[in-house]
Amino acid sequence: MAKKILVCFGTRPEAIKMCSLVHTLRQTDFDVKVCVTAQHRQMLDQVLDFFEITPDFDLDLMTANQSLNALSGRIFTKMDEVLASEQPDLVLVHGDTTTSSICAWAAFHRGIKTGHVEAGLRTYNKYAPFPEELNRQVTGRIADFHFAPTPVSKQNLLNEHIQPEAIAVTGNTVIDSLLWTVDKLENRFSNPKIAELETQIDFSKKVILVTGHRRENFGDGFLNICKALAHIAEQADVQIVYPVHLNPNVQQPVQALLSSHANIHLIEPLDYPTFVWMMKQSYLIITDSGGVQEEAPSLGKPVLVMRETTERPEALEAGTVKLVGTDADKIAREAFVLLEDHALYEKMSRAHNPYGDGKASQRIVEFLKAEL
């Protein structure tokens, strides 16, 4: 009888990184089913539609302004029902979300093995990123199989006394999904949003793509970020494109402080292929996202990271990203350097991407075939 694998995720970033793995798993003899918590609803559905994946179980748990504790409790309850009915041989979770850690924990309570995709990333500061860092560590203690994207993340796991035979260095599945999407874009894929942006943005100027959503930046952090972006936008040859996260803690300061600037385009969150297209068109990316730190180097785009720490030190070492925190003066200063110093820009844009070659999903599948 075929081994049963339940793939669980709930947010847009998880979906982007897991959909390529789902497609690869379904090319095998495994009995593969997908469960989504819908921790993000609208943004998750956009990714599922693009990758043509219909969940077998949709827990639909997103509610407005829910606390992490309330979300966790609901995931526990609903996941227990799915696990009891399906009784999978393995649950696969991804990365650092509340969905991932609670699904892994629920599987453990049922005596079901867990595989952790994108395992071993660490800052060892449980408040940065919050709550992601501790989610990763908890999932790492629970998981039976660990799919580390890089040798650095493998070493973190070894330092935590994870057995070497339980770890596979695979690269990051986000590169699998990114290259698949780029291929579609280069083969004339388009959609109404891409067509709209082509007329809305002046691409004769240097386009700076901005994303920001981290909880630890709520409050003063976002006020400083907005101050920096307003300063950068004073430069005439710049266009800032900012898809604004739907969270009110992001929307309120961004709309209040940046909506009147002619060189800043505040737009709704982008679906995944449109966001990849926008990254390809950009000159520079300023972000607090983890995934963008991994994706942008494959597109030759320098990244300024608005965080004090990163669990992705490989990008820092490779020279593809630079930490700027949420100090307004530092964000603006480093942006101006990249806008004006062509040699430094070229050095960052040509640096090697340490996160993979687009074959991570296949490596994970080969490992599971041997283990299961």
Q: Is 183 a catalytic residue?
A: no
State the catalytic residue, choosing from 41, 94, 96, 312.
96
Q: Is 333 a catalytic residue?
A: no
CB-side exposure of 178: number of CA atoms within 13 Å?
Answer: 28
Q: Is 186 a catalytic residue?
A: no
Q: What is the pTM of this model?
A: 0.88
Is 14 found in the same domain as 158? yes
Is 156 found in the same domain as 13? yes
State the catalytic residue, choosing from 41, 74, 146, 213.
213
Read off the CATH number of the domain in which 74 is found.
3.40.50.2000
- Identify whether the C-beta of residue 9 lies closer than 8 Å to the C-beta of residue 36: yes
H or E element at residue 240? strand 238-243
The gap from C-alpha 99 to its chain's centroid, in whole angstroms, comes to: 14
* In a domain? residue 144: yes
pLDDT per residue, tens digit, the chain (372 aa), is 899 999 999 998 999 999 999 999 999 999 999 999 998 788 899 899 999 999 999 999 988 888 999 999 999 999 999 999 999 999 999 999 999 999 999 999 999 999 999 999 999 999 988 999 999 999 999 999 999 999 999 999 999 999 999 999 999 999 999 999 999 999 988 899 999 999 999 999 999 999 988 878 888 988 999 999 999 999 999 999 999 988 888 899 999 999 999 999 999 999 999 999 999 999 999 999 888 998 999 999 999 999 988 888 888 998 999 999 999 999 999 999 999 999 999 999 987 788 989 999 999 999 999 999
pLDDT at 289: 87
* In a domain? residue 182: no
Helices (H), the chain: 12-25, 42-50, 68-86, 98-109, 132-142, 151-159, 173-186, 192-200, 220-232, 248-258, 272-281, 291-295, 313-318, 328-340, 342-349, 360-371
* In a domain? residue 16: yes
Q: Is 357 a catalytic residue?
A: no
* In a domain? residue 155: yes
Comparing CA positions, the residue from 58, 8, 4, 10 lying closest to residue 32 is 4
Is 365 found in the same domain as 255? no
Q: Is 122 a catalytic residue?
A: no
Is 95 found in the same domain as 17? yes
Query: Based on the structure, what is the number of domains in the chain?
Result: 2
Contacts of 187 by beta carbon, 8 Å cutoff, 6+ apart: none
Is 223 found in the same domain as 290? yes
Is 231 found in the same domain as 119? no
The string over 34-49, giving b where at least 16 C-beta atoms fall within 10 Å of a residue's C-beta and e elsewhere, is bbbbbbbbebbbbbbe
Range of the domain at 203: 191-349
* In a domain? residue 39: yes
**CA angle 222–227–230, rounded 5-degree value:** 125
Is 24 found in the same domain as 107? yes
State the catalytic residue, choosing from 23, 26, 110, 215.
215
What span, in angstroms and rounded, lies between the C-alpha atoms of 82 and 59?
A: 9
Q: Is 317 a catalytic residue?
A: no
Is 248 found in the same domain as 285? yes
* In a domain? residue 124: yes
What span, in angstroms and rounded, lies between the C-alpha atoms of 36 and 16?
A: 13
* In a domain? residue 168: yes
* In a domain? residue 178: no
Is 151 found in the same domain as 199? no
Is 124 found in the same domain as 21? yes
Is 200 found in the same domain as 136? no
State the catalytic residue, choosing from 74, 94, 118, 312.
118
State the catalytic residue, choosing from 23, 110, 231, 245.
245
Is 335 found in the same domain as 361? no
State the catalytic residue, choosing from 132, 133, 288, 294.
132
What span, in angstroms and rounded, lies between the C-alpha atoms of 232 and 237?
A: 10
Amino acid at 125: N
